[in-house]
Amino acid sequence: MGLLRTGKRVDGFTSRIMIRNISIDDFLGAEEKMVLADVRSPGEYAHGHVPGAVNLPLFSDEERARVGTTYKQVGREEAILLGFDLTGNKWSGFIRAALEMAPGKRIAVHCWRGGMRSGVMAWALDLYGFEVFVIQGGYKSYRQWARRQFVFSRDFRILGGMTGSGKTRLLATLRAMGEQVLDLEDLAQHQGSSYGTMNKMVQPTQEQFENNLAWQLKDLEAERQVWVEDENMNIGRIIIPRPLWENIQQAPTLNIEVDREDRIAYLVQEYGSLDPDFLTECTKRIHKRLGPLQTTQALAAIREGRIADFIKLVLVYYDKAYHKALAKKDPGGLFTLRLTGGSDAENARLLSDFNQTIATGK
């Protein structure tokens, strides 16, 4: 981490230059955390940003487009002048916003590649008295760092089980017990089926999913096991990065078996309060896989409020799909545990103990 410039005498007063370059690894590993200001446009930020970063846009989306066009069609110097014209009366607002973010006047900033936008914002904040750290390589360096997190090998344990087995609840309980858990469905904001958004979740962009995923992976202890739910490579419209997906697929699968009636009761509780129009739309999307008769019967059950009957009909398809996927797994890495009632805490302890017998071979 190198000091860019130091204080010097200028026309009878001392200027305070406290702008430092810092790598993304040093920023993420710093013991003393600081606010990170993303000075890219709102649209760039919305598409993907460092988790926890606060948007302090130098330009609006429209202004950024104008500056970019000027740069390409006229030249760098004209683009810089236009940039100053566009931001001329905004600087006090930038500084006030930065003071709200970082009242201690210690802040990190970045743009796309650590270029002019972060440089000029750093200059203005430094002039006001901030201690400023500029991320070398900008947001692009975080994206490169994020991709590196996906190639590290980890000791995963896959939690499998048919729809309605309560896998998500078990993962949450395991986490509360101190186990390491990577909840991909929570990161993807989708439960993996045609009904996966539950009519309330909004999936992030693929880029933001990867950013958030890498952020969680960095905090996992390499020497400890990580529980993850059995997933397809696609969760809704989100795709799990291939290196991570392949690492997970090499892990043992602990397949839990739960009585069908218990699964139906759980799913009725989960889906019973959902908007019938939402259930209808999602069911129509899988009509080819359900078949014409089952689709007609399922839609009628939704319309008439017979949620248990609707669940039973669609479970035929989902159970068949799960058995097909299970058959593709290496039998040597597949272990089945039957759960007969019990609380989530009791079942999580049984699962943890069962995992220990697999790990020790006893």
Q: Do the bridges between strand 131-135 and strand 35-38 make them parallel or antiparallel, or are there none, so unpaired?
A: unpaired
Q: Do the bridges between strand 106-110 and strand 35-38 make them parallel or antiparallel, or are there none, so unpaired?
A: parallel
In this structure, are residues 314 and 289 in contact, taking their beta carbons and an 8 Å threshold? no
Please state, in angstroms and rounded to a whole number, the distance separating the CA atoms of residues 244 and 79: 41
With a CB cutoff of 8 Å and minimum separation 6, the contacts of 127 are none
User: What is the residue-wise DSSP string for 155-209?
Assistant: -EEEEEE-TTS-HHHHHHHHHHTT-EEE-HHHHHT--SSTTTTTTT--PPPHHHH
- Cite the beta strand spans of the chain per DSSP E: 8-10, 13-15, 19-22, 35-38, 54-55, 106-110, 131-135, 156-161, 180-182, 226-229, 234-235, 238-239, 253-258, 334-339
**Pairs from 340-343 (Cβ < 8 Å, separation ≥ 24):** 340/259, 341/262
The question of whether 111 is a catalytic residue gets the answer: yes
22, 37, 39, 111: which one is catalytic? 111
In this structure, are residues 9 and 123 in contact, taking their beta carbons and an 8 Å threshold? no
Q: Catalytic residues, which ones?
A: 111
